[in-house]
Structure formats: C-alpha cells, structure tokens
Structure 1
Amino acid sequence: MSEQPASAPPNPATPRIMRGFEYVLFNSRWLMAPFYVGLVVALAVLLIKFVRMLLEFVVHAPSYKSSEVILDVLSLIDVTLVANLVLIVVFSGYENFVSRIDTSGNPNWPIWITKIDFAGLKQKLLASIVAISAIHVLEAFLNIETVFDATKMTWLVAVHLVFVISALLLAISDRWSSGDHE
C-alpha cells in the first residue's frame, strides 16, 4: 500500500484574503467615476465653445460668402460630433465599467445608453472619429482656393483613410468574433 502524503490542512485565512483582494479589485471600478465626471466638465467646456462659435457665426454670417457659411456650419457640426462622442463614452463607459444606470425613473431615457456593449462602444467611437475626420477633410477641400498645401491635404486624406480602414477592420473583426460571419 502506497502512502499518500498528508495534505496540509486548509488555511482559513487564504479564502478570506482572496475575498478581500477580490472585493478591492471589484470596487476599484469606482475609481473610473471621476474620469466620467471630468468628461462631463469637458462637455460643458465644449458647450461654451459651441455657443461662442455660434454667436460669431450668427454675427458674421450676413457678410460671409456661401463657402464661408458652409465652413462655419461644418465647424459647428464638428464640435457637436465631438460632444456626442464624449457623451457616448460617458454613458457607455459608466454603464460597462462602473455600474448600471437605473433608467426606470425616466421614460425619456435613450434606449441605446443601456444597450451598448464594449464592441458597440468601439464601433460608435470609431464611426464618430471617421465622421469628424471626414469633416476636417471636407473643410480643407472647401478651403482649397484660399490655402492649398498639397502635403497637408495628402496627410489629411491619408489619416482619414486609416480611420476608415480601421473602422471597417474592427467591424469585420467584431462580426467574425460574434459568430455572425456565416
């Protein structure tokens, strides 16, 4: 008969230490909350910038050529898209990484906020970045008569194409990983 080595008696402190460690790790997610509050402050700064741009646009629009009006409108759209991007990150990030948001008390709560998972968040972020990049390229093209810099234009288009290709590759990758590629 072979002797089995006597196993060490379980140490009751080990599970307690593990639970304590897991408790600290789990609750460390709340360290992200100040980041989201900071993004809300950044959103308020964007609002101030938007209002300033809008007031300047309204005051100067009567004397603008149509191309200048279009450029200013594109600038307003650009700031709006960046603000939307911040909002998506705040809500989705908080919901995905910190805590669920109780939407039951507000019937006007947008449905998408609690439905975006991390893959959806990545896609929305990249789609917003592509749209913002497209606006910058369009602004450069519309401004081409006054200032033409071939190198800058090439870089703008190249960076935009990198964003577009990245977004497409991410969408394909997410589709394949979710099993919807059949």
Structure 2
Amino acid sequence: MSRAAGIRSTQSGCGEPPSRHIRIDASSPGALAATSQRLRRASRHTARAGPANREMESVMHHRNAVERLLEQFLFKSRWLLAPFYVGLALSLLMLLVAFVGDLIHILPGLWSAKPEEIILAVLTLIDLSLAGNLVVIVMFSGYENFVSKIDTGENEDRPSWMGSVDFSGLKMKLIGSIVAISAISLLRAFMRLTEPGVVMDEARIRWLVILHLTFVASGLLFALMDRFAAQSEKH
C-alpha cells in the first residue's frame, strides 16, 4: 500500500476556483491535522459565501422586478396622449361650424357679388379646409406614431399614407400645410386691396410676407436636414 493517499475536494463559492486538490500525507500526524484544519476553514468559507450569494440573487431579482414595473408604466403612459387627439377630433367640428357659417354668409349674395368677392370667399373656404387637413394629418399620424396603430381592418377607404408617415414625414406635411395656409392668407390680403375704399395696411402686408417667407425657409431647412440625415444613415 502506498504511504501517501490523495483526496480530491471540489470547492464552489465566491472567489474560489471550480476545483481544488488537497494532498494529504498519511505519514505524519501533524500533516493530517493541518490538512484537516484547512478543510474545516474551506467548509466555513463556503458556508459563509452561500447566504451572501442567495442575498445577492434576491436583490437582483427585486431590482429586475422594479425595473420591469417602471418600464411598463412608462410604456403605458403613452395613452395620456389619447385625449389630445380626441380634442383634435373635436376641433374638426369647430372648423366645420366655421366653414358652414362662412358658406351660409356667402350664398345669399352670390348672384350680386363681384368676382373679387367670390374669390375672397373661396380663399377663405380653402383656408379652412387646409386647416382641417392639417388637423387630420396630425391626429392620425401622431396617434399611430406615438400611441397605437389604428386597426381599420380591410376598409378600402383607409388613406394610403396612414401607417407610412413617420415623424420626419409628419414634420414635412405639417410645414407644407402651414406654408399653403400662409400663402392663402397672403393672397387674400392682396385681393382685399382691390376693393374700393380699402386703405393699404403696409405693416400688416409686410408682416404677412415676412411670416410666409419664414415658413418657406423653415420648410427648406427641414427638407435639407432630413436629406443630410438620410445620407448619413446610408454611410
């Protein structure tokens, strides 16, 4: 029989390697006692590390649960935007009332109205319709981009741009509608100058021109920024 016997002990715990080999020399009682003491210390270290690991796992599990709850709350908070779009739907009703009121005001004097007056009335109606289109674009695109998709099923009346207008496209449609409304307002102001007895308000005309040019420049800048962003994404 060999005088030395080998015992292999596998330790697992914090800071311990996966396996440790402890060699016991049976020829010396002192060596046996020292080895036994080392084994007891290793066992106590493992016993102390076990609760610490379990406590750390419990803390991580609690942290993950809180993080999931916070993320769910933030994700569902997007529904707070829904009342805004309901308000926009009601604003369409307000524009409709204004449109019908102007139309009723125009129709009685239609046969005796001058061409300039008819053009001004039509420009007013176009201005209101463009504002309505702007509201619809913001309402549908904003709801689908930031709240939820609108399920229309197989309805053939669904607008082709719904679901395909992202935030960049929405921004360009908005600025395009604003420029069109500004142009109509400016044209209507110039048409009023042809009416007899109307005094030209130079300050008002100047500010209308400045605002219109500002909207046009803003649209061009938005288009350039989107183009540069698209080129940077390709590269």
When the two structures are superposed, what TM-score results if normalisation uses the length of structure 1? 0.92
- CA-to-partner distance for each residue in 1:32-54, whole Å, 9 max, x for gaps? 11110110001011111111111
Q: Which residue of 1 aligns with 2:20?
A: none
Higher helix share: 1
Distance in 2, matches of 1:165 and 1:109, equals 33
Q: Which residue of 2 aligns with 1:168?
A: 220
Identity of aligned pairs, percent? 48
- CA-to-partner distance for each residue in 1:113-144, whole Å, 9 max, x for gaps? 11110000000000000000000110111112
| Residue 103 (structure 1) shift | 3.0
| Residue 170 (structure 1) shift | 0.1
Identify unmatched segments of 5+ residues in structure 2. Answer: 1-14, 17-51
Larger Rg belongs to: 2
Q: Which residue of 2 aligns with 1:150?
A: 202
Deviates more, 1:172-181 or 1:79-88: 172-181
Amino acid at match of 2:183: A
Question: Aligned pair in 2 of structure 1 residues 63, 36: CA closer, same or farther (>3 Å)?
Answer: same
2:98 to 44, 49, 72: 49
User: Which structure ranks higher in relative contact order (CA pairs < 8 Å, sequence separation ≥ 6)?
Assistant: 1
Amino acid at match of 1:14: R
| Residue 98 (structure 1) shift | 0.3
| Residue 147 (structure 1) shift | 3.2
Deviates more, 1:48-57 or 1:124-133: 48-57
Q: Which residue of 2 aligns with 1:79?
A: 128
Deviates more, 1:116-125 or 1:11-20: 11-20
Distance in 2, matches of 1:38 and 1:57, equals 29
Distance in 2, matches of 1:110 and 1:127, equals 18
Amino acid at match of 1:127: G
Q: Which residue of 2 aligns with 1:9?
A: 56
| Residue 105 (structure 1) shift | 3.0
When the two structures are superposed, what TM-score results if normalisation uses the length of structure 2? 0.72
Q: Which residue of 1 aligns with 2:155?
A: 106
- CA-to-partner distance for each residue in 1:123-173, whole Å, 9 max, x for gaps? 000000000000011011111232311111111000000000000100111
SS where residue 162 of structure 2 aligns? Answer: helix
Q: Which residue of 2 aligns with 1:119?
A: 168
Residue-pair matches, total: 179
* 1:88 equivalenced with 2:131 (yes/no): no
Higher strand share: 2
Q: Which residue of 2 aligns with 1:130?
A: 179
Identify unmatched segments of 5+ residues in structure 1. Answer: none
Q: Which residue of 1 aligns with 2:108?
A: 59
Please tell me the root mean square deviation across aligned C-alpha atoms, in Å: 2.0
Runs of 4+ in 1 over 4 A off after TM superposition: none
Q: Which residue of 1 aligns with 2:229?
A: 177
